[in-house]
A and B are shown apart, each in its own frame.
Chain A
């Protein structure tokens, strides 16, 4: 008999009554019993040893964005110069705490998203709904590695999210005054937060893939339109913004049932756009986060549906000016709006259409599904009739540009330091090119408007001036494919581990790029041409699809979407980033035969020493981008940030010159070996694309590379350095273990340099290196940083 919640009396025992408050179907103890592996469901300290190994090599470096602490009423405390505050915490530990807290914020955003979706999907599809992510025996690789369990149904993820939430609570508790005091332990906690973030993301994406029948490891997932120029504004335009597709699926279902897809433009911004197109490729993608305010200001949307994450806080102020009603569907974003969930649809439509209410909360998704299409069709003619004009007319534009005094207040207020004053000046002369160039670099934040003493709506001016280029903003995006399937890993794993595929470059995160979105396209293109596997997701995945070659083709049209060298894979939305870490886990499992179950440390050790994967959050701005990156770091995957990255306050650069940091063990016998610094950094930033390119190639070196692999990786490192920095990198020789590591085309030239500049001994007849390298290549070498994994270890 299943025990239910309630009161029970036991027959014949009249005075005994049992109260059952809640029933946990699979209790924690039971879960723990099911879990397997050396470290199933680790608590905060469970993987601390591994963290300390990482942090000893990659010592954290802090770059405070504020020198003070204002956490408690003892403060503010001035911590400048690593001073201690009134509670005893010093600057270093405080900065570590700040970075950890941001990581945790990111992790909780994904986990909160996952929990909302899981509750919703269990109610809609049942807890027994099977997980189906495509051809794989490892359905939830991150979950299996961290928790030591193998979920089969979506209900199996309930205890997984319980674990994630418990860790988040415990971690958050440590930020309270009088808890953790050591920077190094805040770092270990941040790494823990990053790891649980990947679990939370994995849950979120697997359940939606399984329930909404999104592409399942599909290399040829459909291509969809992307860009501000793709929307047919003669039709009613329904714009969705956010990350949680739950409510929007009801709109799509309703539109399908009523044949409305050719009557309404259904479009979205941010990850809801990714996930909508994964559910139904008829939906359109306007673009990334930086397009949000720009697109609202265009006045084109007739109705906006918001869910959660990365939605502008000034939404209601912006939309009400333009008579665009807003429907908020998730309790994370409610804007002070009235909850109309229980009201009649026609009444809600009436109040929104009349403008009596600028927006409503609607948590009944059946109602959202029906109301949104009806309302948008009603709004479009109403808005036309009122004559909503969003951007300035030509005349107004000239007047606004002429009223600019070139005071520069907007430039100082602009996070990108864009030279708006000069563009205004040029515009007065009739030259719009400066504005057109500025438009791509502009992140659409609206700070310039706020700062202008002349009250010029600067962003509107930028957008008006750029209408010609905006109309041309039409690209293609391959919809999110989800995980990488086992057959693909089986085929490609060997190339990746041996290095004949030079590496995986994962371009992820937000659009806070230093020099416009074209960068990510160019980075992807260069690495694809060099046969790297380029994986992408989120906003970056959209921006990569925005540019075309001479034949008018985007990268998604030019390159395949499989897990193969020279392919471009879009995994999907933010939460699909878990599939990137999952892919490296799968390589360890399938190619190397490692048991991943509850075995995080061993797998991370394998990934760090064997798999040449590097993450790039070139425009990373959100806390989520930090937690995604930090999760990659704990799994041994290095990450590069753009020049805004140091604002995250902490990085993990390596010190190549400190030889002691690069000792690793050979698992065959536990012997210690001093190796080349590979990967050199765990978390680092670069100033611009030119600096970034060789760095990406360098961070794909691994101690486990064989000769052919090292030769290929070295070739790209040298070529990219010569191309972008104009020189042979000054550290190329430390990656040479023998002549077979040298790029073929340059072998003679490089041997000469080794002899003349580095004093190596060369046998010129045989073109062999006799003396010089720090170590020789040994194909059976089994690099590890974990003593217990060595043969004969007692640990």
Chain B
């Protein structure tokens, strides 16, 4: 098990200062716990945004995809993922949250919906708003392993420095 000293729960304040949705806000999570949580998920879906193509982040996406976690490529992330040979399905994030809300949606593989969503590489305010759909209208677990604290997730990293963020991703991946 990787034992890098890194506290990912610090600085857990919304990255848009006023983005305080209400009494229920994400629990700040340590990278190791996040990794364990993801590894235990029954039907996880990794939802990546355009910044998932960034150096250091794409490696984490690849690792998770290789562990069998299906990847939903939102925004324009698909181009980079394809270039890297990572298997992913394009979907519009706004449409995706409406699908996830639908008990009859069969998922990308036809095997049914997902019980855990993992967010990575998103435009902050965009993902935050769309997480609020899942938070308010579904029972789906939401975990953010993005660089900034996401109050609408259930678990989220605090706001991280770029280097720490990449280290945190390494720790997550090591748990899978």
A, B co-complexed: yes
Interface string of A627-659 (1 = CB under 8 A from B): 000000000000000011111000101110110
**Segment of A96-104, A347-355, A411-419, A516-524 in the binding face:** A411-419
The answer to whether residues A687 and B133 also contact, given A78-B23, A729-B90 and a CB cut-off of 8 A, is no
What residues on B are CB-neighbors of A81 within 8 Å?
Answer: 24, 135-136
Interface string of B110-134 (1 = CB under 8 A from A): 0000000000001111100110110
What residues on A are CB-neighbors of B13 within 8 Å?
Answer: 412
Q: Are B132 and A685 neighbours in the complex by a CB distance under 8 Å?
A: no
What residues on A are CB-neighbors of B122 within 8 Å?
Answer: 687
What residues on A are CB-neighbors of B74 within 8 Å?
Answer: 687, 691
Instruction: Select one of A67, A643, A651, A729 contacting B24, CB under 8 A.
Output: A67
**Segment of A251-259, A704-712, A719-727 in the binding face:** A719-727
Q: What CA separation (Å) do A63 and B16 show in the bound complex? A: 16
The answer to whether residues A647 and B125 also contact, given A67-B136, A725-B90 and a CB cut-off of 8 A, is yes
Q: Are A730 and B90 neighbours in the complex by a CB distance under 8 Å?
A: yes
Q: What CA separation (Å) do A658 and B103 show in the bound complex? A: 12
A305 on interface, CB distance cutoff 8 Å = no
What residues on A are CB-neighbors of B49 within 8 Å?
Answer: 687
Q: Are A685 and B98 neighbours in the complex by a CB distance under 8 Å?
A: no
**Segment of B35-43, B56-64, B77-85, B163-171 in the binding face:** B77-85
- Distance in angstroms from B134 CB to nearest chain A CB is 9
Interface string of B81-113 (1 = CB under 8 A from A): 011000001101111011101101110000000
Interface string of A726-740 (1 = CB under 8 A from B): 110110000000000
What residues on B are CB-neighbors of A655 within 8 Å?
Answer: 95, 98-99, 102, 105
Q: Are B23 and A67 neighbours in the complex by a CB distance under 8 Å?
A: yes
Instruction: Tell which of A61, A80, A82, A91 has the most Cβ of chain B within 10 Å.
Output: A61
What residues on A are CB-neighbors of B75 within 8 Å?
Answer: 686-688, 690-691
Q: What CA separation (Å) do A651 and B132 show in the bound complex? A: 13
A610 on interface, CB distance cutoff 8 Å = no
Instruction: Select one of A413, A644, A686 contacting B92, CB under 8 A.
Output: A686
What residues on A are CB-neighbors of B92 within 8 Å?
Answer: 653, 684-686, 691, 695
- Distance in angstroms from B143 CB to nearest chain A CB is 17
Q: Are B106 and A65 neighbours in the complex by a CB distance under 8 Å?
A: no
Q: Are B90 and A727 neighbours in the complex by a CB distance under 8 Å?
A: yes
- Distance in angstroms from B93 CB to nearest chain A CB is 6
Q: Are A61 and B133 neighbours in the complex by a CB distance under 8 Å?
A: yes
A440 on interface, CB distance cutoff 8 Å = no
- Distance in angstroms from A719 CB to nearest chain B CB is 14
A92 on interface, CB distance cutoff 8 Å = yes
The answer to whether residues A64 and B98 also contact, given A451-B17, A690-B79, A727-B78 and a CB cut-off of 8 A, is no
Instruction: Select one of B23, B76, B106, B124 contacting A691, CB under 8 A.
Output: B76
Count of chain B residues with a beta carbon within 8 Å of a chain A beta carbon: 46
Interface string of A76-98 (1 = CB under 8 A from B): 00111110000000011000000
The answer to whether residues A68 and B22 also contact, given A653-B98, A686-B92, A687-B122 and a CB cut-off of 8 A, is yes
The answer to whether residues A91 and B136 also contact, given A687-B93, A726-B83, A727-B79 and a CB cut-off of 8 A, is yes
Q: What CA separation (Å) do A643 and B14 show in the bound complex? A: 18
What residues on A are CB-neighbors of B137 within 8 Å?
Answer: 62, 82, 91-92
B9 on interface, CB distance cutoff 8 Å = no
Complex interface residues of chain B between 136 and 165 (CB less than 8 A to chain A): 136-137, 159
Instruction: Select one of A78, A653, A688, A726 contacting B95, CB under 8 A.
Output: A653
What residues on B are CB-neighbors of A688 within 8 Å?
Answer: 50, 75-76, 123
Instruction: Find the A residue at minimum CB distance from B100.
Output: A61
What residues on B are CB-neighbors of A727 within 8 Å?
Answer: 78-79, 82, 90
Q: Are B89 and A61 neighbours in the complex by a CB distance under 8 Å?
A: no
The answer to whether residues A417 and B94 also contact, given A67-B23, A80-B135, A647-B125 and a CB cut-off of 8 A, is no
Q: What CA separation (Å) do A79 and B137 show in the bound complex? A: 11
Q: Are B126 and A725 neighbours in the complex by a CB distance under 8 Å?
A: no
Instruction: Find the B residue at minimum CB distance from A645.
Output: B94
Instruction: Find the A residue at minimum CB distance from B81.
Output: A726
A59 on interface, CB distance cutoff 8 Å = yes
- Distance in angstroms from A94 CB to nearest chain B CB is 10
The answer to whether residues A730 and B89 also contact, given A65-B132, A690-B76, A690-B79 and a CB cut-off of 8 A, is yes
Q: What CA separation (Å) do A643 and B75 show in the bound complex? A: 10
What residues on A are CB-neighbors of B17 within 8 Å?
Answer: 412-413, 451
Q: What CA separation (Å) do A417 and B124 show in the bound complex? A: 8
What residues on A are CB-neighbors of B80 within 8 Å?
Answer: 726
Q: Are A726 and B94 neighbours in the complex by a CB distance under 8 Å?
A: no
B68 on interface, CB distance cutoff 8 Å = no
Q: Are B133 and A643 neighbours in the complex by a CB distance under 8 Å?
A: no
Instruction: Select one of A61, A65, A78, A726 contacting B79, CB under 8 A.
Output: A726
5 pairs of residues in contact across A and B, judged by CB atoms under 8 Å = A79-B136, A80-B135, A688-B75, A690-B75, A725-B78
A-B pairs, top 4 by smallest CB distance, nearest first, are A67-B22, A690-B76, A726-B79, A687-B75
B: residues with CB less than 8 A from A are 13-17, 21-24, 49-50, 74-76, 78-80, 82-83, 89-90, 92-95, 97-99, 101-102, 104-106, 122-126, 129-130, 132-133, 135-137, 159
